[in-house]
Amino acid sequence: MVMETFGARLRTALDTRGPLCAGIDPHSSLLVEWGLDDDVAGLERFSYTVVEALADRVAVLKPQSAFFERFGSRGIAVLERTVADARSAGAVVIMDAKRGDIGSTVAAYADAYLDPASPLFSDALTASPYLGFGSLEPLYALAEKNGAGVFVLGLTSNPEGSQVQAAVGASGRSVAEEIVTAAAGRNAGAAPMGPIGVVVGGTVATPDFDLSRLNGAYLVPGIGAQGATAADVRRIFGAGARNVVPSSSREILRGGPSVAGLREAAARTVEELAAILD
């Protein structure tokens, strides 16, 4: 049975819980800041505390898979429980794994993250489309079948990103514009939003094409405490600003290790972001 669409679940979560995607990034320096050992026990304590504090009140939680993978199979087991517990508490979960490949390999990634039978099943997955937007077709197809989503990298804020993203192809359009155009094509006719989102940094240069046509969500690191302003949101997204999903990680996670501290940091961030996106 196909569940409610990803776009519908995300829209409801943002409208009822506020515009925030909180990252779960248990890197070694944050574990130390929390007074935890940089081991599986520390990973467990960190991740489960974040879920306890935020999963019943934040719209989106985004675990960064790499910080779990570094502990091997035991770290993946923690990631599985983190995702399951967060979804059970009502949060939309975006798995930040940035997968990208071709053929049977990308199909296997789809099975791992976008099949409800998988212990890593998430509401959405981040992916890299730089082997060609169409190379990720198995992700899109399984996401659509199972009411999940895919966020493809579009315009990232790292300096190296422009080497690929700003490159102009035979069509006369940049790679980034081609990605957004292709994603918009997959989202055509969906309501309230389609299943294919795009990652855009909140501090990128003003694009020379219209982002509002996506009919999907934009996952946007950098808004609010990280430096991007309301003017940046209007500058970058125009009429598409309502579909921005602002992402914050360290600013919130440094509110730990207490549950109360994390909740206070998240509530403050939601208030700031709501004012920006109003």
Q: Which residues are catalytic?
A: 98
- Judged by DSSP in three states, 221 sits in strand
Could you tell me if 143 and 195 are in contact, meaning their C-beta atoms sit under 8 angstroms apart?
A: yes
**How would you label 11-39 residue by residue, b for 16+ Cβ within 10 Å and e otherwise?**
bebbeebbbbbbbbbbbeebbeebebebe
Angle at 38 between CA 98 and CA 26, to 5 degrees: 35
Q: Which of 184, 115, 190, 117 lies closest to 152, judged by CA?
A: 184
Torsion angles phi and psi, residue 35, rounded to 5: 80, 25
d(CA 185, CA 97): 24
Could you tell me if 265 and 54 are in contact, meaning their C-beta atoms sit under 8 angstroms apart?
A: no
- CA 32, distance to chain mean position in Å, is 25
The reply to whether omega before 63 is within 30° of 0 (cis) is no
d(CA 134, CA 23): 28
Could you tell me if 251 and 220 are in contact, meaning their C-beta atoms sit under 8 angstroms apart?
A: no
Query: In this structure, what token pair is assigned to residue 156?
Result: 């990232």
Longest Cα–Cα distance in the chain: 54
